[in-house]
Amino acid sequence: MRVLIVEDDPLLGKSVQAGLAQDGYVADWVRDADSAEHGLGVEHFDLVVLDLGLPQRDGLTLLKDLRRGGSCVPVLILTARDALSDRIEGLDAGADDYLVKPFDLAELCARIRALVRRSRGRPAPTLQAGDLALDTTQRRATLRRRALLLSPKEYAVLEILAGNPDQVVPRTRLQSSVYGWEGDVDSNALEVHVHNLRRKLGKDRILTVRGVGYRLVSSAHR
Ligand code: CA
């Protein structure tokens, strides 16, 4: 799951990024509205954590611009502005949630999970694809009710595939969702994770769609 943090405070940006990473998110961080708008224009993000007090264009203006441009990305405002009128204005401008600083990182993560679930049209925290089930809160997967031992990256790949069962997920989408802007990622790393997942799930469960990406088969064929 990929989150864009828009925050000009270096300490806060860094700590939110580290906290989200620890919780299994790929969190990219920008410090101003222009960079955020550019990032959202070229890459897929599951959610934006948006500070309001930003240099130049402020967060509220950015949010209005995004919504005017048709962007549906879930936005959680994270700000020190705690007045009721600010909260109402933020939500009315198109934010999906509003959290006031200082905040608790565990609560931020729980709110993010809830928003992403809602945005995908399934409020329950469990993903089901045939006999494969994922608990997206605990980040655990079971196959025929038996726990699968997965690395964090393997789980991240599987969660995206299982969130789009029987659909082709583009390789570029998987790559960016699992690695973000980390940069020096071995281009074969994704293949290695898919290989390992096939070993654990059965090799016919994840199909390669040549030149495009991968598809998770929701029911095991015999
Ligand atoms: Ca700020």
* 119, 154, 181 - which closes a domain: 119
The pTM of this model reads 0.79
How far is the centre of ligand 1, averaged over its atoms, from the C-alpha of 122 (Å)?
32
Hey, which residues does 146 pair with through a beta bridge?
143
Which position has the higher pLDDT, 59 or 188? 59
Q: Under a CB-based contact definition with an 8 Å cutoff, are residues 200 and 149 in contact?
A: yes
How far is the centre of ligand 1, averaged over its atoms, from the C-alpha of 19 (Å)?
18
| 74 and 138 both lie in a single domain | no
Query: Rounded CA gap, 62 and 36, in Å?
Result: 9
> In this structure, what DSSP letter does residue 44 have?
-
How far is the centre of ligand 1, averaged over its atoms, from the C-alpha of 107 (Å)?
20
For residue 125, what pLDDT is reported? 87
How far is the centre of ligand 1, averaged over its atoms, from the C-alpha of 36 (Å)?
14
Residue that the structure tokens 């700000």 belong to: 79
Res. 184 pLDDT band, cuts 50 70 90: low
Task: Show the domain range for 17.
Answer: 2-119
Mark residue 83 as left, alpha or beta (left: phi above 0; alpha: psi -120 to 50; beta: remaining).
beta
Query: Rounded CA gap, 81 and 90, in Å?
Result: 10
How far is the centre of ligand 1, averaged over its atoms, from the C-alpha of 101 (Å)?
11
Q: Which of 76-80, 104-108, 122-126, 182-186 has the lowest average pLDDT?
A: 182-186
For residue 60, what pLDDT is reported? 97
| 114 and 14 both lie in a single domain | yes
CATH code of the domain covering residue 88: 3.40.50.2300
User: What is the sign, positive or negative, of the torsion defined by CA atoms of 120, 126, 128, 132?
Assistant: positive
| 42 and 131 both lie in a single domain | no
| 109 and 189 both lie in a single domain | no
Query: Rounded CA gap, 25 and 34, in Å?
Result: 23
How far is the centre of ligand 1, averaged over its atoms, from the C-alpha of 58 (Å)?
9
DSSP 53-98: --SSS-HHHHHHHHHHTT----EEEEES---HHHHHHHHHTT-SEE
Number of domains in the chain: 2
CA 165, distance to chain mean position in Å, is 17
| Side chain identity, residue 92 | D
For residue 183, what pLDDT is reported? 59
How far is the centre of ligand 1, averaged over its atoms, from the C-alpha of 54 (Å)?
5
Has residue 38 got a pLDDT over 50?
yes
Q: How many CB atoms lie within 10 A of CB 98?
A: 21
Has residue 6 got a pLDDT over 60?
yes
| 148 and 175 both lie in a single domain | yes
* 76, 95, 119 - which closes a domain: 119
How far is the centre of ligand 1, averaged over its atoms, from the C-alpha of 42 (Å)?
24
| 51 and 158 both lie in a single domain | no
| 106 and 19 both lie in a single domain | yes
How far is the centre of ligand 1, averaged over its atoms, from the C-alpha of 46 (Å)?
22
For residue 220, what pLDDT is reported? 59
* Averaged pLDDT score across all residues of the chain: 92
Query: Rounded CA gap, 166 and 129, in Å?
Result: 9
Query: What token pair was written down for 197?
Result: 């997942």
| 93 and 142 both lie in a single domain | no
* 89, 119, 149 - which closes a domain: 119
| 7 and 102 both lie in a single domain | yes
| 89 and 176 both lie in a single domain | no
CATH code of the domain covering residue 140: 1.10.10.10
| 62 and 17 both lie in a single domain | yes
